[in-house]
Amino acid sequence: MLMCKEATRLMSLKLDRKLTFQERVSLRLHLTMCHACRQCDQQFTLLHKIKNRLSLEPPQEENRK
Ligand SMILES: [Zn+2]
């Protein structure tokens, strides 16, 4: 069983790279049991989506004439 600290580490890790099968399973298991970390995971995912959307946005065109 993962500690919350370890689970949080995996959550942020999975935004940078694919987790190994074992890491995914451990995190999944922890999230099933731990409400706090489930909420934390949602926040991480949301933040990641926002970040992705911002970096995908085309540059502002105000400099173009
Ligand atoms: Zn936890």
Task: Tell whether 63 is covered by a domain.
Answer: no
- pLDDT tens digits, residue range 9-34? 999 999 889 999 999 999 999 999 99
Q: Is there a domain that residue 20 lies in?
A: yes
The answer as to whether 65 is a domain residue is no
pLDDT of residue 57: 73
CA of residue 43 to ligand 1 center, whole Å: 14
> Structurally, how many domains does the chain consist of?
1
Instruction: Indicate whether 52 pLDDT > 80.
Output: yes
Query: Ligand 1 centroid vs 52 CA: distance in angstroms?
Result: 26
Q: Which domain holds residue 45?
A: 4-52
**Per-residue pLDDT at 49 exceeds 70:** yes
Distance 62 CA to ligand 1 centre (A): 46
Please tell me the distance between residue 57's alpha carbon and the centre of ligand 1 in angstroms: 34
CA of 12 to the centre of ligand 1 (A): 14
Angle between helices 35-56 and 4-16 (to 10 degrees): 20
Asked if residue 28 belongs to a domain, the reply is yes
In a domain, 13, yes or no: yes
pLDDT at residue 58, rounded to an integer: 73
Residues 43-54 as b/e (b if ≥16 CB within 10 A, e otherwise) read ebeeeeeeeeee
Determine the pLDDT at residue 63: 65
Residue 56, pLDDT score: 77
